[in-house]
Amino acid sequence: PENRIAFNLAKYHSFAETINYLNALAITYPDRVHVMPIGITHEGRQIPLIKIGTRSRADKPGIWIDGGIHAREWISPAVVLYFISQLVTEYDRDPTMRNLVDSMDWYIVPLLNPDGYEYSRSSSDVEVRLWRKNRSPTMCTQVSTGLFSPPTTQCCQGVDLNRNFDWFFGQVGSSTDPCSEIYNGRFAFSEPETRSVRDFVTGQNGKIKTFLTFHSYSQILMYPFGHQLRTYPNDVNDLSATANKAAQALQSMYGTKYTVGTGADTLYPASGGSEDWAKGQMNIKYSFLFELRPEDNVWDGFLLAENQIIPTSRETWEAVKIIADQTLQTFR
């Protein structure tokens, strides 16, 4: 039966539309799809996880994917929704998809920071549209304005979720100032969004072998560690070989060039990131962070036009399939 669900993958969607799409998939394809909340945000939104897999067994390798950890990076949830649609709706047509869904369990959170995302959609004001953090309640700090003036109080909202994981928390490239864009929060995992990732991944008891987190922009494929220059895990050769192969597959589609390396070596050192935590604390072998289109050094990088969603999704999916393949070769 041709169960077509009306959902335009070439547009940016609201949180409500995203939820409706995931639920429609779960209802239409109950043999391969389950949707469940993994946590509740400060503003009361349920963070949805979609599990895709047939003949689920504990010993199938698991692959984690999250999008939208940063509010303004709209292309991230959009490409993750494309991955979901490929896995679920092409299953009956495409033997590659069937193999990926039969032999692995996919745990996908397309929109990890729905509060921040909805906020960034609420106005085209740059302050709002370019919001990065979540929407945690206001925190205040005393700031001194000069030697002879009394300190004033400044209050701001939001934690940078990609500084809130427990990996060299608060050490570099992060801030203790609640008004900073890279405010790391009061302690590691102070936020419901990061806690929901931690608790879900921990709950899988080592089943998750691959951890992919999607950001924009700069066209970089990162592997750990991002917290310090020239700092690598023991099996860095496996990770860099896989990342290079993935970047090659990505480029083969439309010629889009990616830089491959650690976040620290390619962009800047930053601690408390999820990809480092997945590798360093959770011992997940294949942990990668994608910085999607556009290229580095453009002024409007977070404002990627909707006509770029499908090409970005298609090329990135090529890279993800390489990483999934590698996961299967290592853990099947």
Q: Catalytic annotation on 291?
A: yes
In angstroms, what is the minimal distance from the CB of 47 to ligand PAY? 19
Segment interacting with Zn ion, rule: CB under 5 A, options 86-94, 102-110, 114-122, 214-222: 214-222
Q: Which of 131, 312, 326 is nearest to 239 (CA)?
A: 326
Q: Per residue, what are the HEC states of 281-313?
A: CCCCCEEEEEEEEEECCCCCCCCCCHHHHHHHH
Residue 272 in contact with ligand PAY, rule: CB under 6 A: no
60 binds Zn ion (CB under 5 A): no
CB 259 within 8 A of CB 266: yes
How open is the CA angle 320-232-302, to the nearest 5 degrees?
Answer: 50
Catalytic choice (127, 291, 295, 315): 291
> Of Zn ion, ligand PAY, none, which one does residue 316 interact with (CB within 5 to 8 Å by kind)?
none
Which of 13, 132 has the CB closer to Zn ion?
132
Can you tell me which of 117, 217, 258, 288 binds ligand PAY, judged by CB under 6 A? 217
85-104: contacts with Zn ion (CB under 5 A): none
Residue 82 binds: one of Zn ion, ligand PAY, none (C-beta under 5 to 8 A by kind): none
197 binds ligand PAY (CB under 6 A): no
Residue 54: partners with Cβ closer than 8 Å, 6 or more residues away: 31, 32, 101, 102
- The whole-angstrom separation of Cα 320 and Cα 318 is 6
Distance of CA 329 to the CA centre of its chain: 24
CB contact set of 214 (below 8 Å; sequence gap of 6+) = 65, 66, 67, 68, 73, 76, 79, 80, 289, 290, 292, 316
Is 316 a binding residue for ligand PAY by CB under 6 A? The answer is no
Catalytically annotated residues: 291
Q: Which residues bind ligand PAY (CB under 6 A)?
A: 70, 162, 215, 217-218, 222, 226, 263, 267, 270, 273, 275, 289, 291
Q: Which residues bind Zn ion (CB under 5 A)?
A: 70, 215
